[in-house]
Amino acid sequence: MRPSTRSLLLLGAAAGPLFLVAATVQSLLRADYDLLRHPISSLAIGGHGWVQVANFITTGLLIVALALGARRALAPGRGALWGPILLAAWGVGLIGAGAFESDPVSGYPPGTPDHLTDYTTAGALHDAFSMLGFAALMGAGLVLGARFARTERPWAVYSVLTVLAFGVLLALASLGFAQTEGLVEYGGLYQRASLLVGFTWTTALAVRLLRAAPEADG
């Protein structure tokens, strides 16, 4: 494996831990913020919002690095093109989510309503990039799961289960943020669980490709 490829994969492996740790620390330090209820995107609102903006953009760039490394490590073979393309789209989604500030959700920041009726252009773009990224991550899991179906069945199963779990948890989070009774108090928890599942898979993918040096050199 070329040193540059290894560096790209190592950067990609760091993306998930960086994002989750940075978001958790902010959640615990931010006054009036409830990590069980509020979305991570809300951390980008306000005077200290630049920290989460930087977290989004840095993580997105690291995921793009993973996509570049995966392209080199997977080629040639099934999924060697579309898997990395979808990973890169996930990274772009994170970068876009950082570039555009989300609208308030579930009463944060304090003084804002639980459910908005008027949405900003920036908020709409934030949501669009987020949805693009989420869909791309799920697509990458399916594409690369199909690649490994014949040679590494456990990895293929893990990839598909990741997609299913990510999708279900994300749907629950979305319902919570839409103020659905019984879910609204845990929207933030479901979102964090979905991202933990998704980022664990991207880190595991990077580690798997790093360990498969002979295949990567092929």
Domain boundary assignment for the chain: 3-212
> How is residue 196 written in tokens?
């933990």
pLDDT at 13: 97
pLDDT at 117: 74
Phi, psi of 174 (to 5 degrees): -60, -40
What residues have CB less than 8 Å from 108, skipping those under 6 apart?
Answer: 32, 33, 34, 37, 38, 42, 45
Amino acid, single-letter form, for residue 171? A
pLDDT at 141: 97
- How many whole angstroms separate alpha carbon 218 and alpha carbon 215? 5
pLDDT at 77: 83
State pTM to two decimals.
0.93
Q: How many CB atoms lie within 10 A of CB 106?
A: 21
> Which of 71, 72, 123, 76 is CA-nearest to residue 102?
123
Q: How many CB atoms lie within 10 A of CB 149?
A: 15
- How many whole angstroms separate alpha carbon 175 and alpha carbon 121? 22
Say if CB 183 and CB 176 are below 8 A apart. Answer: yes
- How many whole angstroms separate alpha carbon 183 and alpha carbon 173? 8
Query: Looking at the DSSP assignment, which residues form a beta bridge with residue 105?
Result: 108
pLDDT at 2: 64
- How many whole angstroms separate alpha carbon 162 and alpha carbon 200? 9
Say if CB 36 and CB 189 are below 8 A apart. Answer: yes
Q: How many CB atoms lie within 10 A of CB 190?
A: 22
Say if CB 9 and CB 213 are below 8 A apart. Answer: no
- pLDDT tens by residue, the chain, 218 residues: 566 999 999 999 999 999 999 999 999 999 899 999 999 999 999 889 999 999 999 999 999 999 999 999 998 888 899 999 999 999 999 999 999 999 999 999 998 888 777 889 999 999 999 999 999 999 999 999 999 998 889 999 999 999 999 999 999 999 999 999 999 999 999 999 999 999 999 999 999 999 886 444 43
pLDDT at 212: 81
pLDDT at 216: 43
Amino acid, single-letter form, for residue 110? P
Angle (CA) 100-106-108 rounded to 5° is 65
Q: How many CB atoms lie within 10 A of CB 121?
A: 8
Say if CB 206 and CB 9 are below 8 A apart. Answer: yes
pLDDT at 118: 81
